[in-house]
Amino acid sequence: MLTAVECPQKVALRVALGRVLAQDVLSTADVPAHDNSAMDGYAVSARDLPASGTRALQVVGSAWAGKPFTATVQPGEAVRIMTGAVVPAGCDAVVMQEQAECDGEQLRIGNGHRPGQNIRRAGEDLSKGQVALARGHRMQPADLGLLASLGISEVHVQRPLRVAFFSTGDELRSIGEPLETGQIYDSNRYTLFGMLTRLGVDIIDMGVVRDKPEAIRDAFVRAAANADCVITSGGVSVGDADYVKQVLDEVGEISFWKIAMKPGRPLAFGRIGAAGFFGLPGNPVAVMVTFYQFVQPALRHMAGETEVTLPQFTVPCLSRLKKRAGRSEFQRGILSRDAQGQWVVRKTGGQGSGVLSSMSSANCFIVLPPQGMEIEPGDPVLVEPFHALV
């Protein structure tokens, strides 16, 4: 239902970091282009490797990275070779410097070597014409290096998504304004800013919108005109001041409404014109949990990315956890290593959906299934790290 952008742009290699490839990138050459040495040592012919005892060889020259030995090496000869240097014709093994004795031009090697050893084969990294990076891949630091190794200076990437967001709530004030009793600072726009910036989207921060249907309607229309996706926080429950659902019914469409998760219920999802829409809860922790579980994968899909699943794995839990049947829970956890070096998780303190410090000290979610359960210290639990994912 949420369609991916299809708007390729040609950008310089460095600019492509974090962007999603709009085309397959084919390897323009074999990488490495030639068989080359993985070690500093001596290039020899495999026929000269002794099966037992030692063998004396004549060193006839040197091969450097970028400065090859151009003659063909004859039987009984060896060439001093440096890491990265092209393996000379006639040679098909490299003996490590530490495993040879050299006196002037006289080289002595022992047994136990094998043909092909210490040689990086032409094309072992990439062969010419092979898909080096596929369309839909988000460019990582290694990818910049990979394309640089092919001499590719520009790539086609999708344009960044534009995401507009605003907070709803009469109680919300912006930083710098004085607070009266019952008023609070708007923190959701800051966590959203952080999470969206990490995703590499272009951000349109529309500030705080008051709990008035006309104000919310106006903000929706402006947001949808300028963005691929609109995100709000607050105002999606069934309280007297919760107008998001009502207004969305008028100006757009709602796809689903209540989700059996904690924290996070309620959550609105739909469309306003061509733009996708996520109405996140107001509680600061619920905003982050629903963002990571729903908004982030959806935005990555809309940005053109093909692989959007988050890693999850099982580790022993050091804390005692208890949950009722009915909803999946995303408790905040701290993954760390114990004294034996094993990864373990413990929960952060307060798990209330307004306790943002629990998110601040956490580095993962402890994902608990809908069934009721009691976790005893040492029991395995599923964790989902949320740092360093994008």
Phi, psi of 247, rounded to the nearest 5 degrees: -70, -35
Q: Using CB distances below 5 to 8 A depending on partner kind, what does residue 237 bind out of Mg ion, ligand AMP, none?
A: ligand AMP
User: 169 or 266: whose CB is closer to Mg ion?
Assistant: 169
Phi, psi of 128, rounded to the nearest 5 degrees: -55, 135
CB 224 within 8 A of CB 237: no
User: 219 or 236: whose CB is closer to ligand AMP?
Assistant: 236
Is 169 a residue that touches Mg ion (CB under 5 A)? yes
What is the number of other CB atoms lying within 10 angstroms of the CB of residue 363? Answer: 17
User: 243 or 269: whose CB is closer to Mg ion?
Assistant: 243
Is 77 a residue that touches ligand AMP (CB under 6 A)? no
> In the structure encoding, which two tokens stand for residue 346, read together?
């413990």
Query: How many residues bind Mg ion, per CB under 5 A?
Result: 4
Is 187 a residue that touches ligand AMP (CB under 6 A)? yes
Sign, CA dihedral 225-231-236-242, equals: negative
Query: How many residues bind ligand AMP, per CB under 6 A?
Result: 18
Per CB under 6 A, the list member of 184, 225, 260, 389 interacting with ligand AMP is 184
Return d(Cα 369, Cα 82) in angstroms, integer.
Answer: 56
Of 110-169, binders to ligand AMP (CB under 6 A) are 167, 169
Q: Spell 9-47 as b/e; 16+ CB within 10 A means b.
A: eebebeebebbbbbeebebeebbbeebbbebbbbbbbee
Return d(Cα 64, Cα 148) in angstroms, integer.
Answer: 22
Is 234 a residue that touches Mg ion (CB under 5 A)? yes
Give me the least distance between CB of 357 and ligand AMP, in Å please: 13
341 DSSP assignment: S
Tell me the DSSP string of 40-59.
Answer: SEEEE-GGGS-SSS-EEEEE
Give me the least distance between CB of 352 and ligand AMP, in Å please: 11
Of 239-278, binders to ligand AMP (CB under 6 A) are 239
Span interacting with Mg ion, options 7-15, 131-139, 163-171, 292-300, rule CB under 5 A: 163-171
User: 169 or 264: whose CB is closer to Mg ion?
Assistant: 169
According to DSSP, the residues that pair with 94 across neighbouring strands are 43
> In the structure encoding, which two tokens stand for residue 376, read together?
């005893």
> In the structure encoding, which two tokens stand for residue 328, read together?
């999946």
Interface characters, 188-227, with ligand AMP (x: CB under 6 A): x---------------------------------------
Of 269-288, binders to Mg ion (CB under 5 A) are 282
Per CB under 6 A, the list member of 62, 83, 237, 306 interacting with ligand AMP is 237
Of 282-321, binders to ligand AMP (CB under 6 A) are 282-284
Is 281 a residue that touches ligand AMP (CB under 6 A)? yes
Per CB under 6 A, the list member of 24, 40, 125, 171 interacting with ligand AMP is 171
By Cβ distance, which residue is nearest to ligand AMP?
282
Return d(Cα 90, Cα 202) in angstroms, integer.
Answer: 56
- Token pair 């990439």 is found at 126
Query: Nearest-5° angle of CA 123, CA 124, CA 127?
Result: 35
Give residue 52's identity as a one-letter amino acid code.
S
Residues that bind ligand AMP (CB under 6 A): 167, 169, 171-172, 184, 186-188, 233-237, 239, 281-284
Residues that bind Mg ion (CB under 5 A): 169, 234-235, 282
